[in-house]
Amino acid sequence: MRSDHQKLKSAIGDDLPIINLSSSSSSLQRSEVARLIVKACEEYGFFKVINHGVPDHIIAKMEEVSFNFFSKPVTEKQQATPFGYGCKNIGFNGDSGEVEYLLFSTNPLFIAQAQSSNSISIDNDPTKFRSVVSSYIEAVRELACKILDLMAEELRVHDTSAFSKLIRDVESDSIFRLNHYPPVLCSSKNNSSISNSTNSCKVGIGEHSDPQILTILRSNNVSGLEISPNHGVWIPVSPDPTAFFINVGDLLQVMTNGKFVSVKHRVLSNSAESRMSVAYFGAPSLDAKVTTLPELVTPTKPCLYRPFTWAEYKKTVYSLRLGDSRLELFRK
């Protein structure tokens, strides 16, 4: 295992681990891709995927829809019911940032209700919005499941669908969020490759980990995302609109008995351009029991976390501030 200094040096010099999914065609290549994914999850909890298989036209249409929505007057965006439109306020406990967002369930029945909201439409046709969003969600869900299955294979888990079946469940509580970080000029230029303060830039979304299983993130070609694989040290992530960025969520850390790391990350509004991102948060059903997989518990590595339901953990998440530690509350 590399030292923290070596990990940090690698992250700076080589950027994040890059996984080429087109290299998984043969069994030998698939095994190597799976090994690299697991290594990235252990060391960073975060990696970049290229040649991911999500069609370009689906991505382009989703970005067009996002910009179209956020360009509307605030009064129209606030009418985006039953969806959750928010501006600057994040959650229910006082967190805020330079961001506006649209948050909703990935359940097809929920998305269908968009037809009753004229503020979420393409050419004044809400059914077009539903079609674009549904196609994008289906594509990134499949990408998430492919990645999760590769993880399970490398971890020698008996049921290689142990992770992916949780987000394939028809009752999955997965969510989807469109984020818009409007232009906010920094007070001074920061050219350092490592940032330890936000003095010159305003926070879009503050430090946090994602509570779900896995996050699939894509953004336009505007920077701002940073990760902290080492406590207190922030590494800027170079944007790449042709790729997806994957990060381990809290539940996956629990299920792998701490082998994978649910990495802290944040977004800074640090340019004169708008940053737009789309995030898929893969989660189990509310009543799903989250437990550490037995293959990852050994006499020398006892189980770190007690069993709990996703509903229980989600309730805890909503009761805390964005950057608060939650997993410690569920340790044995």
Q: What is the CA radius of gyration of the chain?
A: 19
Phi then psi for 178, rounded to 5 degrees?
A: -95, 130
The CA distance from 101 to 79, in Å, is 13
The Cα angle at residue 111 between residues 115 and 281, in degrees rounded to 5: 150
Q: Cβ-count burial of 302 within 10 angstroms (0-12 exposed, 13-18 middle, 19+ buried)?
A: exposed
Residue 236 CA, distance from chain mean position: 16
Examine the residue annotation and report whether 275 is marked as an active-site residue of this protein: yes
Q: For residue 288, give the DSSP letter.
A: P
Q: What are the distances in angstroms from CA 158 to CA 119, 161, 163?
A: 47, 9, 11
Tokens found for residue 167: 């987000």
Asked whether 44 and 17 are in contact (CB, 8 A), the reply is yes
Tokens found for residue 274: 């708008």
The CA distance from 29 to 108, in Å, is 35
Longest CA pairwise span in the chain (Å): 61
Tokens found for residue 260: 């994978």
Nearest to 149 by CA among 217, 214, 243, 244: 214
Q: Which residue has the tokens 């995302």?
A: 225
Nearest to 175 by CA among 111, 132, 225: 111
Residue tagged active-site, from 266, 275, 321, 331: 275
Which amino acids are annotated catalytic? 275
